[in-house]
Each structure stands twice: as C-alpha cells, then as structure tokens.
Structure 1
Amino acid sequence: MSEMTDPTEALKSFQESLLTGSLELERGRLDPDVYLHVDRADGKPRFTYVRLEGRKVTALASFVPNGYYLGHPNLAAGYAVLEAYRNQGLAKDILRAGIAELRNGFKGRPPFYVEAVISVDNAASLKVAAEVLGGTTVEFNDEASGRRAIRYARKFDTGR
C-alpha cells in the first residue's frame, strides 16, 4: 500500500529549486510577503505560494486544477510547513493567503472550490483544513493509497 501524497516533499523540492536559482517568484498582489510561482504539473497549471525567511521556505501552499465540483472549477490544495516552524499557525496562514491571492487573480471569473484530501491520521493537517475550508466533509478510502481520508471542500467567490 502506497502512502498519500505528502506536501512536505514539495516544500523540500521547491526549496532546492529556489536555492539553485531555477525558480522565478512574483510577490503577492494582496500580500507582498507571499511569493507565487506558477508552473505546470502533469499538464495542468500549478499555483504555489510560499512564505520565506530570507531564502528559506517556511510555508508552502500549492493549488492544482482538479476537474469540477458541483458545477464549478475545483482546485486541489496541498500545504506544508518546515518542521522548525510548525505549531505557529503558518499552515493556516499560507493556505488563507494563497486562496486570497487566487480569488484576486480570478476576479471576474466564476466561483471555484478548493479541496484538501487528508489522511485521517494527520491530525494537524485536518485541523488546518477544518478551520480554513470547514464545511461538509466526506470520509472515504483514498484510491492511490487505500488509506482512509477526509475531503474538505469550500466554494470561494471571486467578486464578479
């Protein structure tokens, strides 16, 4: 049985790429202390938002289109915080900041959903998703890993 995707690996990979100079970052439009990198993952645009301490990535939230949910575009979210910076609210902060930047960037477009699929064993991440995304949850068996997971999804307006 394989493991569920761990966004901590994305944070580490992002950090390595940042240090080698192979990433271009833009400052957030709403929050100048948030940085954005847009690339493609499996042919889909990926929006990655980070908080930095110097050149060190302390928190990361990544959003990738994942079809439609209830007739609206759906973005799968993953988030991670560098271990030394955990338990300081940074996961909630970067997830909220990323969603705010997306809402601003998608202004005038239809509403969209953000979803997070989290292992039932990941209490810290479940707490973040419950607070930031809230709403109705669905518990299911993750197809890739076969593990029990909880899906959080929330609709966000774009101020059309």
Structure 2
Amino acid sequence: MFHSVCQVPTAKVCGDGKPSRRGRSFIYRLKDEDQVPQQVCKMFFLSTLGYHPTNDSLVLSVMGKDISTPLAPPKDQRGRHAPANKLDQKPLHEHIESFHPSVSHYRRERAPWRRYLPSDISMKLMYADYIEKDNKCSYESYRKAVKSLNISY
C-alpha cells in the first residue's frame, strides 16, 4: 500500500480563485504483468486489493495527514506516564530526615555511610507521626524509604 500510493499537493483552484481546502491528492498505481506501474483510479485500486471501493480510511492512515512530514510510525507511548499510585518520595524523605539521623562514633571507620537514629525512636513511632500529618503511605513503603536512606536503629 505504501509503495503503490503517492501523495502530491493539490493543483486545483476553486471557482472563486482561492486555492482548494484539500491540501493533497493521491495517485494510485498498480503494476501490470510486465511489472510496470500503471496509474489507476481509487475505486479500482481499493477493490483490486479487496477493500470496499469507497472506504479509503486505510490509505489515509498509511499516508499520514501532512505531506511535509516524513512518513514514520508513531512513537510508542507505553511507559511514558508515571503510574497513578506512584508515591512522591520527597516529603517522605524530609520527614525521615526531621528525626536527625547521625553517624555513630563507633562505626565511622567500618560503615561511614550508615546513619543511626536514637534508641528511643522506633519505625512504628515515625510511621504513626507521618500518618498523623495527613500523609498517605503504607508501612512497607515507609520502611523501604528508611532503608534506602541507609538509616538504622
């Protein structure tokens, strides 16, 4: 279909001297028995290929809408949008940092990137405080956020 149809700008002018609203015309070609392309009408072209003679929606979809743009398949849109249930991590991390985790003086040499919270603060207490401030999050998501920040008790 793509190689048998070519589009050209419309050369017609309306009766009042204005250019036609239709910006393009299609030329349909089929190869004869000597493999030479012959120009045919739209109805013959479509019915030869097994389509209804007046339904040219396939031709329009294959040939695109604009003559100036190169013909290429549309870009794949899968995976381009964030999931509706994706949790924003920034307020979660800010809340965890509000408890001021610090580096232990015992572990500076062996685990310099791990930070610790005081022993009187628990994960359950931190999560309850986060939920109390009208935030929505599961306990498991909160626990994973604390782990991703490399914070221990």
TM category (shorter chain) comes to: under 0.3
Higher CA-based Rg: 2
TM-score normalized by the length of structure 2: 0.24
The structure with more strand, counted as a fraction of residues? 1
TM-score scaled by length of structure 1: 0.23
Q: RCO (CA 8 Å, sep 6+): is it higher in 1 or 2?
A: 1
